[in-house]
Amino acid sequence: MAKSEDVSTDWQKSAGDFSCLVCGRKRLPALEFSKKQVEKALENLRSLPNKDIRTGPEVQSVVYLSGTCKKCAEEKEQKEQADSQAKRQDREKAAEEAVLEPPDRIDVSLGARPFGLTPATKGSGYLVAKASEGKPAAKAGVRPGWRLVSVAGVSCEGDSVEEAQAKLKAAELPVAAVFEGLPGGADFCVSCQEVLAVPLFSRKMRTRPPDKRRCTSCVEASEAAGETEGTEAGGDGDAAVGVATGRGARNSKLAELQGLCAETAREAEQVTGLKAVRGGSARGRGRGYR
């Protein structure tokens, strides 16, 4: 049993009467618990006030340490994984059974450049991945997941992203564009850039703005990646996840800003005939283009 003077800094050899809060087993050795749990228990033991007013060599002070043993922690993790797998299977089954309604076609007028459209990097055709807030496309109601069908009466179906972009740049303002909206019963994931059945999104996620929605699979993958980074860092798991999530959000914002800047430069080149100079070595007004 653990005495205050017997506490060792070596967690494997530390004396102690350990008990598990989950299964109720008592008088367990420290090796039955993770290193982190034992170190936390020993740290708490050092800070416990001595409430026994009796003194003398015949008085034995005993402190019991408790936590969650490895066995219970593993069983909990296995149960969580099984529950997650069952929920994933239910979502996939619901998605397979879902009936998607044909998408509507929406006429849009784009009166100024840059339009603020960012195409998806995967899939065929011009699929909108982002409509930048405050830009003509967003003001006209264009949202992620819409597919460009025609520009100024010229069909874009079957075109590559580059071909569709060329038609947008060549068209005179205001540009009359036709988009194919999302199918009924479907939504767009901004992470995997896929149009998916609604059951593959959580109810909470679907309350978010269209440009913030991610399918449950992408959310789980992001969380798993954050937990892995936290474990490798050797720190607290929850804290590491928060850092990883924040870093991922910053990288996402940076990528969006870079994409918008590149699109603006391309459209400016089309209008002015001047090419943007990469890098920041040029000085003076008017040196940004050549």
Express each pLDDT in 174-196 by its tens digit. 999 999 999 999 999 999 999 99
How far is Cα 116 from Cα 234, in angstroms, rounded to an integer?
Answer: 42
pLDDT at res. 150: 96
**Closest C-alpha among 187, 279, 221 to residue 88:** 221
- pLDDT band for position 37 (50/70/90)? confident
CB crowding 136-168: b at 16 or more within 10 Å, else e: bbbebebbbbbbbbbbeeeebeebebeebbebb
Percentage of the chain beyond pLDDT 70 is 65
- Specify the pLDDT at position 239: 31
Write down the residue that tokens 């034992």 correspond to. Answer: 38
Tell me the CB-side half-sphere exposure of residue 267, using CA atoms within 13 A. Answer: 20
Distance separating alpha carbons of residues 159 and 168, to the nearest angstrom: 12
pLDDT reading at 157 higher than 70: yes
Query: Into which CATH architecture does domain 105-189 fall?
Result: Roll (2.30)
CATH 2.30.42.10 residue ranges for the chain: 105-189
List 127's β-bridge partners, or say none: 147
- Between CA 130 and CA 146 the distance in angstroms is 10
What is the pTM (predicted TM-score) of this model? 0.58
- Compute the mean pLDDT over every residue in the chain, rounded to the nearest whole number: 77
What is the per-residue pLDDT for 90? Answer: 87
pLDDT for the residue 29:
81
CA distance 170 to 271: 9
